[in-house]
Amino acid sequence: MKIQQFLLPFFLCLALTAQAQNNQREEAANKALQDYKQLATLSAFPPSDRISASSLEKATLGQRIDHQIIGLEDLRAYKNTSDPKSIIRPINRATYPVLDANGMVITSIEVEQINGKWQTAQLGNRSYVQLFEDVRKANGLKNTEVSLVRVPGFNVYFMAREQNGRLDFSLLNETPMADISPRQFIDARTALDRLVPAAQKYNGLPW
């Protein structure tokens, strides 16, 4: 009974902390959207990135996409007998698709937590978010069934899903770093195994 009396406030505190973090993240995302609405029609944006005022007026945020990453050092040491989850790290960064009145992706915003505060990280990257949504819908997957896994050192983006106890990756953007067909799900072990040689050869210089 005493243990239960101790654990209940503890778990309640965790739940309240998580909710507060979610609220702060959503507030940062909504602020970023308002900032984008003010900036996107300015001439400072390249013509290809400008969005009509009518589209922006009714623009809303889509479902959050949480980021996870795989570092190059972890990738270099990876063995295909290992669990891929062992080298995937969650980070305090998230992407929100920006949708028009018809639910189509017109751009995106990213927020990240720095020194405990959520703030805008990037505005206006539509390409990988559109690919993410296209792959998700083509495979009949819900937002809650997929996540984004990045290999920042190689600028590689994967969609991850787990089915029947197996983690699968779908490469979103084509890469010269490995022979992986984009937008097709394969075993995460296979995908990582094909990236390992490039990681082991990579000297850290720009490519």
- The span from the CA of 64 to the CA of 47, in Å, is 27
pLDDT in tens, 53-98: 667 778 999 999 999 999 999 999 999 899 999 999 999 999 999 9
46 within a domain of the structure (yes/no): yes
Report the distance separating Cα 168 and Cα 159, nearest Å: 8
Which pLDDT value is given to residue 14? 41
For the entire predicted model, the pTM comes to 0.81
Within-domain flag for 207: no
State mean pLDDT over 25-38.
91
Q: Is the confidence at residue 10, as pLDDT, over 80? A: no
Tens of pLDDT, residues 146-181: 999 999 999 999 999 999 899 999 999 999 988 999
206 falls within a domain = no
Backbone torsions φ then ψ of 79, nearest 5 degrees: -115, 140
Number of domains the chain is built from? 1
Q: Which residues form the domain of 96?
A: 2-201
User: pLDDT tens digits, residue range 38-57?
Assistant: 776 665 555 555 566 667 77
Query: Does residue 149 fall inside a structural domain?
Result: yes
